[in-house]
Amino acid sequence: MVAFSSLVGDSIILIASVRYNAIRLNKFIVAVMQHIAVGDLLQAVSCVLPTMISLIADEWILGCVPGYILACVNSISFPASSVFMCILTVSKLILLKCPQRTRLLTQKKC
């Protein structure tokens, strides 16, 4: 259920923001949200689904090479998601605390 909701929710966020331009926020915040959604999709595919498969089979059936690949992907995607969440929080704080100084975040330079 978690994997399904993650896949559906992140796909909706990406489709709505890229194809239909439906999210009307600061462009920088939308870009960070897109990166978070991509990282969450990567985590759902590389962590939740293989774990669910191995729990159903009661053993690791995917082999050694996919296990190493998934370990490398997870070691990159978890810290990246944490960094993007921090960037999103700090950018919202900056937009609230100093709205006059954040013109660079609202222009096409981001």
pLDDT tens per residue across span 76-106: 888 998 999 999 999 888 888 887 766 665 5
**Nearest Cα to Cα of residue 18 among 42, 39, 35, 41:** 35
Residue 77 near residue 45 (C-beta atoms within 8 A): no
Say what the pLDDT of residue 104 is. Answer: 62
Contacts of 103 (CB under 8 A, 6+ apart): none
Q: What is the pLDDT of residue 1?
A: 76
Residue with tokens 């919202």: 92
Cα separations in angstroms, 30 against 6, 26, 58, 83, 87: 18, 6, 40, 15, 12
Q: pTM for this structure?
A: 0.80
Mean residue pLDDT of the chain comes to: 85
Per residue in 21-59, pLDDT (tens digit) is: 888 888 888 999 999 999 999 888 888 888 888 999 999
